[in-house]
Structure 1
Amino acid sequence: MTAPFRVLAAVLFCVPALAADEGPHGPTYTSPLEAGEDFDFQGEFLGWQRPQGTHRSTQRIGLQVISRGDGEFLAVKHLGGLPGDGGHRRDQYLYDGRRLGAGVFLLGDITDLRVHFGHADVLTKDGRTIGRLERVYRESPTLGVAPPEGAVVLFDGDQPDRLRDVRLTDEGWLAVGAETSDRYRSFRMHGEFLLPYQPKARGQARANSGFYLQNRYEVQVLDSFGLEGVENECAALYRQRAPDENLCLPPLVWQTYDIDFTAAEFAGGERIAPARISLWHNGVPVHRDVEITGKTGAGQPEGADAMPIRFQDHGNPVVFRNLWIIDTTDPAAREIDWLDLPLRAAPMPIAHWPPPCLCSPGR
């Protein structure tokens, strides 16, 4: 089985240096080099804490720090580790704070946090350190995976001939708004996307896009890093079903969707079986062979006919790469080697601990 999520150093520095674009929801950054001081503190941390400040034992914890613009931050502490790596949705603690000098200070109900660029401390209310976490950078195990023999390459950086309404960025990535030239019923698909950093945007204005399957059913794309992971956030079946776990990484980090979609069946114009989907977000199953109850609100009406796949333009500069698909309408195509993906969300191992030195430029 492919080991979910790899940890790597300086992965954030593998994206282009574009300037910020000031929009109605605040600035939009497409490069960490232009993103400002707050961006340096946003991200994931992993380490330990002594429960109730005792010296008897320690417990593993994960931390996600979210920039909200103008020096304001939220943070979520996960007992057991980060999402997909032992953390549990029911064991979360929320913090609120701001940047002060060379650090970010956040207050919680029971403990407080002090965050620096490379590490974070857990503090008692009287200021004693009872935990230490180190900064980690995680990467999907299916990032950059090559298409198997028999797959159709939709986009690999060259001028695509399997897409229409194509716009490429200066870096050669696919911009939002394209759709497949071919039409599909059932398929397996791999796609990679990168979210812009929009610290002042909120809710559906924060890096919104989507994979519109058959132009009918939307798998939501959104900057949901550190959020609850509800039915209109990243990897949700939009307004139908929340992902089993929120595996959204911070903005400006490449992420993956691996999709196994089975088309709805019709007879005599009536639907006799709903569409079904399995979805792996960053290598972790977040929908396991679940029913899609109907089309997304703005989607095309359900029917037996094949339809294109669209990469939704919602006004945000989300970009895509390494898109490929296997048409599985013919059941024999399901014998094509796809991906070694887990069927159950086992704890997500960390490949390098402590993380490599951040002074290295990485890839």
Structure 2
Amino acid sequence: MNEIMNAKKILLLAVLPAAAAASLFAKSLEGEYVGRVDAKEAHFKDNPLIAAQVYREGDKYKVGIYPDLWRRAPAYAKFDADAKSRKIDFDCGGWLGFKGTITESGIVGEAAYSTKDGKKSAPMKLKKIDRKSPTLGMRAPKGATVLIDGKSFDEWESASGKPIQWEIVGDGSVKVSDKKEQWVGIRTKKKFKSLRLHVEFMTPDERSKPLGQGRGNSGVFVGGFEVQVLDSFGAEGVWNECGALYKYMPPQINASLPPEKWQTYDIEYRAPVFKGGKIEKYPRITVFHNGMKIQSDIELRENTANGSAYRALALKDEPVSISLQNHQNPVRFRNVWVEEIE
């Protein structure tokens, strides 16, 4: 597992129906771009790396240009563009300026910067990257319990006690469904103490909505502790967005991928330790999102909850269920398995 986690991250077009073609066309510029500015002086001499992110919100592309995508760096520049565009031409100013063109393969342009002799510019070039989780498709180790294999819900029960209404998609995944029971999640029949949990999930195409809690919302719970699932590609990565210990701790970085791409959580949970009926050690959790560590051995002294009135811990010296949330968004899950650890 550790070796995999530490691995270095870094069209053919068929004839499509008009609606499908329009959908593909509208998403073609969405993604992440990385590259450098080839400057011999001033700011970009010591800071040549540059990155950009393009995501869709309604009928607009939202574009951000950054010194780094995954270290919460403030943006150099942000701007909007028509989401129907095949390419985006931009010219945005500030103490650093950027001018260029975004296409499906990358960004080419120039960056302007100030020197003692006045404003100068240097070429910049960024390549579009296709980032995938290094643990995507990872098989359950010997002795682990496979919770979702896309064939049945044998390991689960509905939180309502009624038959599970979620859908088996037929491609190895299951999908949240609220057609008959709204807001009703599922939980494992078996309970666990300390564990390693692998989850693969996909947020749906809800790009017509603004970023927020209405896009691809679900959650992975270990007992009362939730790791938030949300379409947060392009978001800030705050305490209620993807990878957060919900309203308890924001992710260290926003490692989210765009909607309709498979993502992974790899979670290690250490159960509380009791002595003489009293808690001696609080539970702790570490979370990797798409191979990037976003929560590092966090001590859980409060519940993850929507509101301070629900934060009080009621820990017991007993195993807990794993749960998947129904937040009325058709999020999909596949290849979910759990391994008990000492």
**Are the equivalent residues in 1 in contact too, given 2:266–2:288 (CA < 8 A)?**
yes
Match among 253, 256, 280 for residue 272 of structure 1: 280
Question: How many angstroms apart in 2 are the aligned matches of 1:120 and 1:130?
Answer: 11
Query: How is 1:1-363 mapped onto 2 (pairs within 5 angstroms)?
Result: 1-2=3-4, 4=7, 35-51=23-39, 57=45, 59-70=48-59, 72-79=60-67, 81-83=68-70, 88-90=71-73, 92-99=75-82, 101-106=85-90, 107=92, 109=94, 110-112=96-98, 113-124=100-111, 130-164=123-157, 165=164, 166-176=166-176, 177-199=185-207, 200-214=209-223, 216-266=224-274, 270-297=278-305, 301-328=314-341, 331=342
Per-residue deviation, 1:301: 4.3
Q: 1:158 to 1:267 in 2, by over 3 A?
A: same
5+ residue gaps, structure 1: 21-31, 332-363
Question: How many angstroms apart in 1 are the aligned matches of 2:226 and 2:9?
Answer: 28
Residues 254-302 of structure 1 deviation map (CA, whole Å, 9 limit, x = unaligned): 1111111012234566443221001111111111111112112268943
Per-residue deviation, 1:116: 1.2
| TM-score w.r.t. length of structure 1 | 0.74
Q: 1:262 to 1:282 in 2, by over 3 A?
A: same
Per-residue deviation, 1:316: 0.8
Equivalent residues, number? 304
Question: How many angstroms apart in 2 are the aligned matches of 1:289 and 1:56?
Answer: 36
Q: 1:56 to 1:322 in 2, by over 3 A?
A: closer
**Are the equivalent residues in 2 in contact too, given 1:294–1:302 (CA < 8 A)?**
no
SS of the residue corresponding to residue 330 of structure 2 reads coil
The structure whose Rg is larger is: 2
Q: 1:157 to 1:119 in 2, by over 3 A?
A: same
Q: 1:315 to 1:217 in 2, by over 3 A?
A: same
Question: How many angstroms apart in 1 are the aligned matches of 2:155 and 2:288?
Answer: 24
Per-residue deviation, 1:310: 0.9
Q: 1:5 to 1:76 in 2, by over 3 A?
A: farther
Per-residue deviation, 1:93: 2.4
| TM-score w.r.t. length of structure 2 | 0.78
Could you say what the CA RMSD is over the residues aligned between the two structures, in angstroms?
A: 3.3
Question: How many angstroms apart in 1 are the aligned matches of 2:125 and 2:227?
Answer: 36
Letter of the aligned partner of 1:197 in structure 2? D
Residues 303-343 of structure 1 deviation map (CA, whole Å, 9 limit, x = unaligned): 33322111111111110111110122xx2xxxxxxxxxxxx
Q: 1:102 to 1:284 in 2, by over 3 A?
A: closer
Per-residue deviation, 1:51: 4.8
Question: How many angstroms apart in 1 are the aligned matches of 2:202 and 2:85?
Answer: 30
Question: How many angstroms apart in 2 are the aligned matches of 1:247 and 1:160?
Answer: 29
Letter of the aligned partner of 1:104 in structure 2? I
Letter of the aligned partner of 1:168 in structure 2? I
Q: 1:52 to 1:203 in 2, by over 3 A?
A: farther
**Are the equivalent residues in 1 in contact too, given 2:267–2:286 (CA < 8 A)?**
yes
Question: How many angstroms apart in 2 are the aligned matches of 1:242 and 1:142?
Answer: 22
5+ residue gaps, structure 2: 113-118, 158-163, 177-184
